Structures are given as structure tokens and as C-alpha cells.
Structure 1
Amino acid sequence: MAAFRLSNNVIGALNLVTLLLSAPILGGGVWMATRGDGSECDRHLSSPAIALGAVLMAVSLAGLVGACCRVTWLLWVYLLAMFALIVLLLGFTAFAFAVTNKGAGEAVSGRGYREYRLGDYSTWLQRRVESSKNWDKIRSCLAGAGVCGSLQGRNETWAQFVAADLSPVQSGCCKPPTSCNFTYGGGTRWGKTARMGSADPDCDEWSNDADELCFGCQSCKAGVVATLKKDWNRVAIVNVVFPSFIVVVYFVGCCAFKNSRRDSVYRRAGGWKQAGYA
């Protein structure tokens, strides 16, 4: 019985923590989906948050009730869900490394920032970003987040601008490509009179309109992909460690399930004395 109490107490405590964490995730997703002034980006992010919060809450409740109340079938459901989670995490980690193994910003002489080209990245990421349906949502998110706002208010010299350390999105979406040779006018204002016959189609897409800028440029999509690649790499690295923890929890859950099933057999047989343990 000591093993039963230990394994069940551990599983119960872990799932209580997970249950408490799932509540703000679910609540935050519902809040983003229902608030009246929510942006398209908020609504786009709300669905994953609601789904993640709901799944975490359901799995945690199954583990908590199954462990504390000795409900064997709930522990069985919990173990199946944990096994599926382990498989999904390992699969996602392998996939994330596969689609982010190529592509990087190109250093430009005399510039503190890099230039980004969509063709340098994996075909899968290119297709997802280039899809008009997806890009319309991403573009709306970028505009709503004001990614170029910090540049628009600057009153700096050309030397100060080229020395700036711009993010991939700022470099791709908030200024024209360096190959366009436009004249810098401060902030996000550029003059097209200095164009030297560049073949880059992004040069025609550039607009000084604060709502347009280079949001229709390939370089902007490349900046988004570069940011996704960086974020996915971070998640993949974390996922190398996280499944190890999940596996440990899974095996503790297996012990709890085994002991719970054995205890159920003893109770159905009429108790410890009738089972011959008096």
C-alpha cells in the first residue's frame, strides 16, 4: 500500500498543478475570443489557447480523480492521453528541426541589420506563409501589433539608421530592400527617386503609407519566416528536455494504475483478509 500511496500522491499533486495552470490558459483564450475590441491576431491566437487549456484541464482532471479516488478507468484514459502527448511532442520536435534546418539572414556590408529572402528557407514554411489566406491573417496581426511603430517615430540620421539592430520582421516589413537604393527620409519614409534599376519586385511594392510599407513584399514574408524559425528552434530545444519529464510522469502513472487495479481486485475479492493477507 505504500507504493500505491506514493505513486498516487505524486500523480495527484502533479495533476493538481497542471489543472491550476490550465485555468488561466483557458480563461485567457476565451477572453481574447470574446472581447469586443479584439484584433484579428487576438482571435487567431484564441483558438489554440482555448484548445490547449481545455485539453490540459480534461487530462488533469482525469489524472487527479483517477489517482485520488482510485478510479482505474480514468487512470487508463489518463495514461493513453499521456502516451499520445509523448508521441506528439517527439514528432513535433523532429518535424520542427527538419523544417528549420536551412535559411538565415544575409549580412549586408555597412549595415547593423540583415536582409531576408524567402527562397532561402524550407519549402514547407514558404508555402504556409505565401498562402494568401494565411498571409492576410499574418499581415493583419503585424499591422495590429504595430511592429513598425518604433521606427516611424524616429528622427535619426542615415548613419544611425544603418547601424540599428532591426528584428527580422522590421528589416523585411518596415523598410525597402537595400538593393532598391531608395533615399532615406527618416523613420519609415523613403524616396524612390534614387532607384537604380533593381530587379527586385519588392521595390515596386514599397509604400510610404504607414498601413502599407512593405507588408506586401517577399522580404516581409521572409522576415516572418525567419522569426518563426527562431521561435520553433527554441521550442524544439525545450521539447528535447520536456518529453523526458513527461516520460517519468507516465511511468509513475503506470505504477499508480497497476496498484489501483490490484487494489480493485482485492476489494472485489472481499478485502485483504479474504484475499489471504490477514
Structure 2
Amino acid sequence: MGVSNVLLGLLNSITLCISLPLILAGYFLKVTADSPCDPVLYKPLLALGLSLLAVSLIGLLGACCRIKLLLWLYLITLFIVIVGLLACLSVGSAVVKGNDRGQDVLGGGVKEYELNTFSGWLRNNLVGGSHWEDIKSCMISHDACGKIETFRTLMDFVMLKRSKRTSIEMGCCKPPVHCGYEYENATNWKVPAKGLTSEDQDCKNWNNNFEILCYNCGSCKAGYLALFMKGWRKVTMLNGALLVVLFVVFVIACCALRG
């Protein structure tokens, strides 16, 4: 039993060491987000890190004080965390899918995204109905396109190609390229004399009012989803690696406790 306690203490120390970077990573994502309206991917990391921290503390207390009830509680809680990770990984892989590579409309990596290339679940649950109204209100109140003002003032296509803009800025802060709008000045895009080159609804939704712009466009929603997918892939890879580590820890802990 003494050897088992030592081994369980070491295993709990490992999970404790894993939980702290997860919490720090979640906090880092929160404070470094481009705007408060960015997809809140820091929440899963914070929740996972705090869960592992709680599990580790329960296991360490059980191992150090030789309280078998706490050790069994540790195993049960760790099993629940593993099942939760597996469920999130499975459901997330099935639901969050689609072609979010975008179209390089001007060359130089300047991409626009189309809403219909994303899964129906994402369109309905992340940017559908009242969800989008809340996101849009957040973007407007926090001036999501404020950073692009200088870019719009000095913009030509060469500068656009060289600019490092988020998918939200490219989808919400200017009319889609395929519409054929012409840049006029710092705050206006005009319809060319020959008319727009597309009947797409996004082209009709564009408005030079800085509180409207293309926030009602499908391209804006698609830009938001593209940013979400980019972060989700990183979270999924991290969850997959963590799932393997926790499963190994769980198996060893079961053997140690039974021994």
C-alpha cells in the first residue's frame, strides 16, 4: 500500500502539472483575444484545467493521508473527465466540420469565406438568429472595425495583399470583393457606374455607415466561424493528446490502487 500511495502521488503530481499550463493557456487566450467578441475558446481550456486541478488535489490528499475513499473518488472523477474529453472530441469532430480554407480573392493570402461552406450546426448554433445579434452588438459596441480605419484610409490592393487582417475584419469591415464596389475614401465604397458585378445578398447588405458596414453579411458570419475553426483545431489536438496521457495515468492508477 505504501508503494501504491507513492505511485499515486507521482501520478497526481503529473496531472497537477498538466492542469496549471492549461489554466494559464486559457487565461492567455482570454487576455490576448483580438476583441471581446472573438470566439470564446479559452472557456474549454479553463474548464479542463480547473477540473484536472481539482482531481489532482483530491488524489494527492488521498495518497498523502492514505484515505482510500478519496483515492476511489479520484479515480471516478478522473474517469468522468476522460469520458467528457472523449465525448467532446467525438461530438466536436462530427459537428464542427466544413471547408473553412477560404478563397484567396486578391492573392497574397487575403481570404474571404462563404457561410454555406460551414456545417449547418455551426451556422444555426453559433451565428444563427439571436446568437448573431448578440455577437454583432458586441462587435459594434467594441468597434471591431476600428483597427481597419487607417487601413481603409490608405488602402489600395497592394496594401490589402500585404496586410495582416483577421477573418472577421475581412468579412465584416469591407464589402466582398466579388461585389465590385470601388474604394472612394476613408469611409466610403461606391457602386461603379457599370453597376455591381454580383446580385449576392451580401452586396446589398453592405452600408458605409460605420455601425452597419457588413455586419449583416454572410461573409461576416463566415469570418467569425473561420476564426472559431482555427482555434477549435488547436483545442482538439490538445484534447486528443491530453486524452491519451490521462488514459495511461488512469490505467496505472487503477493497477496501483488494486495492488
Q: Is the 8 A contact 1:202 1:219 kept in 2?
A: yes
Question: Which residue, out of 72, 76, 81, partners 2:77?
Answer: 81
Contact kept in structure 1, 2:5 and 2:63, CA below 8 Å: no
Amino acid at match of 2:118: Y
For residue 100 of structure 1, report the CA deviation from its aligned partner.
Answer: 4.0
Partner SS state of residue 190, structure 1: strand
CA contact (8 A) 2:12 2:57 kept: no
Q: For residue 114 of structure 1, report the CA deviation from its aligned partner.
A: 1.7
Query: For the Cα contact (< 8 Å) 1:40–1:137, is it kept in 2?
Result: no
> Contact conserved, 1:15 with 1:64, CA < 8 A, in 2?
no
TM-score calculated relative to the size of structure 1 = 0.74
Q: Distance in 2 between matches of 1:69 and 1:61?
A: 12
Report Cα offsets for 1:27-79 as digits up to 9, x if no partner. Answer: x7xxx9xxxxxx9759x789768755653443233222122212222222221
Structure 2 residue 60 is the aligned partner of structure 1 residue 64? yes
Return the offset for 1:179: 2.2
Measured against aligned partners, the alpha-carbon deviations of 1:240-275 in whole angstroms (never above 9, x if no partner) come to 22211111221232234324xxxxxxxxxxxxxxxx
Q: SS of the counterpart of 1:148?
A: coil
Q: Please give the alpha-carbon distance, in whole angstroms, between the structure 2 residues aligned to 1:157 and 1:23.
A: 40
SS at match of 2:126: helix
SS of the aligned residue for 1:153 comes to helix
SS of equivalent to 2:147: helix
Q: CA 1:110/1:62 → structure 2, altered by over 3 Å: closer, same or farther?
A: closer
| Residues 118, 219 of structure 1: 8 Å contact kept | yes
SS at match of 1:185: strand
1:153 offset after TM fit, Å? 1.8
Q: Which amino acid in structure 2 is aligned with residue 235 of structure 1?
A: V
Mark the CA change 1:46 to 1:120 in structure 2 (over 3 Å): closer, same or farther: closer
Q: Which residue of 2 aligns with 1:169?
A: 168
Q: Deviations over 1:193-213 (max 9, x none)?
A: 554263111122222232322
Q: Please tell me whether residue 135 in structure 1 is matched to residue 149 in structure 2.
A: no
Change in CA separation of 1:94 and 1:47 when aligned onto 2, cut-off 3 Å: closer
Question: 2: distance between equivalents of 1:98 and 1:233?
Answer: 13
Matches of 1:164 and 1:186, distance apart in 2: 19
Aligned residues of 1:189 and 1:208 also touching (Cα < 8 A): yes
Which residue of structure 2 aligns with residue 202 of structure 1?
202
Distance 2:21 2:155 in 1: 48
Mapped to 2, the partners of 1:219 and 1:52 lie a distance apart of 32
TM-score (norm 2): 0.78
CA shift, 1:91, in A, is 2.6
Gaps (5+ residues) in structure 2? none
* RMSD of equivalent CA atoms: 3.4
**Residues 90/173 of structure 1: CA separation in 2 closer, same or farther (3 Å cut):** same
Q: In structure 2, what is the Cα distance between the partners aligned to 1:5 and 1:110?
A: 60
Q: Compute the displacement of 1:105 (Å).
A: 0.6
Partner of 1:252: 252
Q: Work out the CA distance in 2 between the residues paired with 1:115 and 1:80.
A: 46
1:229 correspondence with 2:229: yes
Gaps of 5+ in 1: 33-38, 260-278
Asked whether the equivalents of residues 19 and 61 of structure 1 are also in contact (C-alpha less than 8 Å), the reply is: no
Aligned partners of 1:114 and 1:171 also within 8 Å? yes
Report deviation, 1:20.
5.8
Displacement of 1:113 in angstroms is 1.3
Does the 8 A contact of 1:139 with 1:215 survive in 2? yes
Greater CA radius of gyration, 1 or 2?
Answer: 1
Contact 2:98 2:119 in 1 (8 A): yes
Q: After the TM superposition, which residues 1-278 of structure 1 pair with which residues of structure 2 at under 5 Å, given as runs? A: 1=1, 3-14=3-14, 16-17=16-17, 41=37, 55-103=51-99, 104-110=101-107, 112-143=109-140, 146-154=143-151, 155-165=153-163, 166-186=165-185, 189-194=188-193, 195-196=195-196, 198-259=198-259
Shift of the 122–15 alpha-carbon distance from structure 1 to 2, 3 Å rule, reads closer
User: 1:272 maps to which residue?
Assistant: none
What is the count of residue pairs matched by the alignment? 249
Deviation at 1:135, TM superposition (A): 1.1
